[in-house]
Homo-oligomer: A and B are copies of this chain.
Amino acid sequence: MENILNVAEIGALVGDPARACILSALMDGRAHTAKELAYRARITAQTASSHLKLLVNANLLSVVSQGRHRYFRIASPLVVQLLETLGAVAAIQTPPRQRRPSRVDTAMRECRYCYDHLAGWVAVQIASSFQQRHLVEFNDEGGLITGAGMAFFADRGLENALGKRGNRILFRPCLDWTERRYHIAGQFGADLAVDLANRGWFERCPQSRAVIFNAAGRAGLKDVFDIECEDRPAAA
């Protein structure tokens, strides 16, 4: 049972707070420099360098050198899935928090990038709206786009996302650790996020995974996708 040791090794890698912080920062889907990641994890550049070396050696991160910068990014979708699952387990394990959320926390809960797709309250609203209208079906095991959904999304300029696959379009539901409900992940989730971004409906916070929908975005969700999400309940 050689494999157990490898499992433990991966666990230990994500088990250090500094490394977890680095990985979390990279979950915004962008590539970051070593210095920036050191700042995010509140450690010195030397320490970050050793951590990043370990993560790259374990194939959790990939790196490209550009001049005197080295840009790190998450190496594979499997790593994204691992971090998502870890977050879900950690959220379940944590008793519901009574702490007053900070401003950035509030934005993060509202909407954020989860590597390549959107997460947070808005993403959950989108998913449940699609589900209620039988455009998609999903439970905690998987999800797919229905026939009605295919027509609906094709009408709205997403035929590229739909057409480039041979089989039925399945997607992965991702348990949101802030909402404890599912949103749409996987390839379709990524395509959807790209589409909404191309429409200019939201802005990304520069140093954060948080995303802020602007007025056009709010209106667009209503007009194009018939999703109403103005009545955000106050954070508990």
Residues of chain A touching chain B, judged by Cβ–Cβ distance below 8 Å, are: 1-17, 19-21, 24, 58-60, 76-79, 81-83, 85-94, 97, 99, 104-105, 108, 137-144, 167-168, 170-173, 175, 177, 186-188
CA distance A86 to B188 in the complex (A): 24
Residues from chain B with a CB closer than 8 A to the CB of A83 are 7
Q: How far is the CB of A208 from chain B (nearest CB, A)?
A: 9
**Looking at the complex, which one of B11, B89, B187 makes contact with A20 (CB distance below 8 Å)?**
B11
Task: Write the chain B residue with the least CB distance to A77.
Answer: B140
Residues B78 and A89 in contact, CB atoms below 8 Å apart: yes
Q: How many copies does the complex hold?
A: 2
Contact present for B167 and A142 (CB under 8 Å)? no
What CA separation (Å) do A141 and B117 show in the bound complex? 14
Q: With A21-B4, A85-B82, A97-B2 in contact, is A90–B137 under 8 Å at CB?
A: no
Q: Which of B21, B58, B91, B142 contacts A172 (CB 8 A)?
A: B142
Q: A5-B17, A105-B1 are in contact. Are A78 and B92 (CB under 8 A)?
A: yes
Known: A11-B13, A137-B168. A3 touches B78 (CB 8 A): no
Q: List 6 A-B contacts (CB under 8 A).
A: A4-B17, A7-B90, A8-B15, A139-B167, A141-B171, A143-B170
Residues A11 and B14 in contact, CB atoms below 8 Å apart: yes
Q: With A1-B105, A10-B15 given, name 6 new contacts (CB 8 A).
A: A5-B20, A7-B20, A141-B171, A141-B188, A142-B173, A144-B170
A144's contact among B21, B81, B108, B144, by CB below 8 Å, is which? Answer: B144
Q: A142 touches which one: B9, B17, B141 (CB < 8 A)?
A: B141
- Among B8, B92, B167, B168, the residue within 8 A (CB) of A17 is B8
A94 to B8, CA, bound (A): 13
- Alpha-carbon distance A161/B93, docked complex (angstroms): 30
